[in-house]
Structure 1
Amino acid sequence: MLPTTSDRPSASPIQVVAGLGCRRGCSLDELLDLLIHSLGQHELTVDNLAGLASIAHKRDEASLHGLAEHLALELVFFAPEQLSAYLAKTGGNPLSQATTGSPAVAEPCALALAANMGIAPRRLGERTRSASATCALATFTDTSI
């Protein structure tokens, strides 16, 4: 269960973003469960989330939009060429390359969004998976503070 607004602290000390990849038709519940699990591995909650990202190929995926709406977060989509600077740090696979135009999705999307939101983006742990989705977290230093 997500915390209510009254349960949320006024400011979360660690801000993270999530890069998400999923198969067509992946459910909102599966994405949410994976995201909460991924955050929990680092003793974080949805309160620490500053944004969500995926690849442009998934722009029409209803569950991604539903997750962003449910969490009241911005969802940013990146074209494969926008992710190229972040691929050396993430690896990849041929299936993802053939399907989306990028050899990896979750990790480079998280890093690209973190770079857009601040400075010094870095992955937070390894990517996590469920049956139909992947999630990677990235942190950044907020320059507006």
Structure 2
Amino acid sequence: MTASHLDPPATAKVVAGLGCRRGCAQDELLALLTHSLAQHELTVDNLAGLASIAHKRDEPALHELATCLKLELNFFPPDDLMPYQSANTASLLTRSTTGAPAVAEPCALALATRLGSNAQLLGLKKRSASATCALATFDREPA
């Protein structure tokens, strides 16, 4: 589960881990997500799911985005994200607000791990004024 700057193999699937400030607009999340995907020649059609931290369970923009994209939105408690935390992405502000050192990257890795195998971050997280987005790839488990 390491950061990768390579494009995902054709057989890999992609998920997005999202963090946002309270009151973030759905349009801002969508723009950040589509920009993040486009940097890897991907679109929202390549997404298998969205994830955020449980602290954001009541954030309307996350639910609006999931509904708009017809994707499942998964929430992870801080303790479930600990195996996916990196000292490189830790933020004291994020920890004090959510209980976890980082949100986007560990959420993406946690969901990718839940859905398949060989979870890896796809590059670095992207930021907008009020949101963060990290992409992770994974291989589907054989049926």
- Same fold, judged at TM 0.5 (above): yes
Task: Name the TM-score, length of structure 1 as normaliser.
Answer: 0.89
8 A Cα contact 1:26 1:63, kept in partner: yes
- Structure with bigger RCO (C-alpha 8 Å, 6+ apart): 2
Deviation at 1:15, TM superposition (A): 1.4
1:34/1:128 contact within 8 Å kept: yes
Give the match for residue 93 of structure 2: 95
* Aligned residue type for 1:84: M
Gaps of 5+ in 1: 1-11
1:46 aligned partner: 44
**1:73 pairs with 2:44:** no
What is the identity, as a one-letter code, of the residue corresponding to 1:48? N
Q: For 1:129 and 1:72, locate their aligned partners in 2 and report how far apart those are by CA, in whole Å.
A: 23
The structure 1 residue matched to 2:19, chosen from 12, 18, 21, is: 21
Q: Distance in 1 between matches of 2:84 and 2:57?
A: 20
Alignment partners' CA distance in 2, 1:52 and 1:89: 23
User: How many residues are paired up?
Assistant: 134
* Maintained 8 Å contact 1:106/1:127: yes
Contact residue 90 and residue 108 of structure 1 kept, 8 A = no
How far apart are residue 87 of structure 1 and its match? 0.5
Superposition misfits of 4+ residues, deviation over 3 angstroms? none
**What is the aligned partner in structure 1 of residue 5 from structure 2?**
none
Asked if structure 1 preserves the Cα contact closer than 8 Å seen for 2:11 and 2:139, the reply is no
After TM superposition, give the deviation of residue 14 of structure 1 in Å. 3.8
Distance in 2, Cα, partners of 1:24 & 1:94:
17
- Contact preservation (8 Å) 2:121, 2:134: yes
- Render the CA deviation track for 1:71-119: whole Å, top value 9, x for unaligned: 0000000000000000037531100000000010000000000000000
Q: Look up the equivalent residue of 2:51 and give its one-letter code.
A: A
Distance 1:72 1:83, change over 3 A: same
In structure 1, distance between residues paired with 2:89 and 2:32: 21
Identity %: 63
Q: What TM-score, normalized by structure 2, do the two folds share?
A: 0.90
Q: Distance in 1 between matches of 2:122 and 2:108?
A: 10
Partner secondary structure for residue 15 of structure 1: strand
